[in-house]
Structure 1
Amino acid sequence: AEQKIRKYLVDNNYIDTVIQLPPDLFFGTTIATCVIVLKKSKSDNAILFIDASNEFERRGNKNTLTTANQQRIYDTFVARADVAHFAKLVSNPDIAENGCNIAVSSYVEQENTEEAIDIVALNAEIARIVARQSELRTAIDAIVADLEGAQA
């Protein structure tokens, strides 16, 4: 039933924007929520997806949208343009091809926050640690041999 409703809204060009809000924003629920902006007289045949899930400040035990966060969301909403890792304007036919899925995460690419790893430096560090381990093993063996010699 939900898929039929989404299909109807997409096919009739009623969905203007889908805004993914941060989790723990509203009292009584910690889940992330979405705002779906509906509009009957749109000038284009596309839906703007805004990922505002990281646009918050933690205050006490709740997340809060600051004035700056609200302004960024509003400016993006008005501009209706792609913003890397924040907003994507997707045509309705593309959404229909995707099963009328209107989840923001399906269209707005997440920023890659993984740290780049220097393999050469990592291998050099491992080699240094292995060499140090070997030195320590030799020193321990010498101490044990001295102790065994002293006891004899």
Structure 2
Amino acid sequence: FYRFISENLTAYLNKHEHDAGDVSFDYRLVADSDAEFARDEVVAEKGFYILPSDLFANVRDRASGDENLNETLERVFKNIEASAMGTDSEDDIKGLFDDLDVNSNKLGSTVAKRNQKLVKLLDAIGDLPLGRWEDNSIDLFGDAYEYLMQM
């Protein structure tokens, strides 16, 4: 689901900028400090906001070198939920990631082992051939999400 909402948001913002004439715009590459321009509008439209550095693809790209990946993911999930606080979508987003415990001993007995497992999970999810989100129904992403949660 994290991958889905990251790709969905990126495509949404890219389309708006491309339609406005900036065809080279790529939200993934925008500095976080420059990304705040759209926060209020995006939260009103999408119900949440993710800074570029917190997008699934960007976290995945840095994952193998992030000694605190578990903390990074926990912070990202909290930031996504916090982006909806005080808005109409707060109830929909609140607690969305509560079932994900990136510090669980089930992932490994040490932080390093947990992070190794988290890198593998991010890579496995990132490598799923889901195509562009616009070309798929939420059912495909939902099925993948349910499968991964069961595993």
Could you say which TM-score interval applies, normalised by the shorter chain? under 0.3
TM-score by length of 2: 0.26
Question: In terms of Rg, which structure is larger?
Answer: 1
TM-score by length of 1: 0.26
- Greater strand content: 1
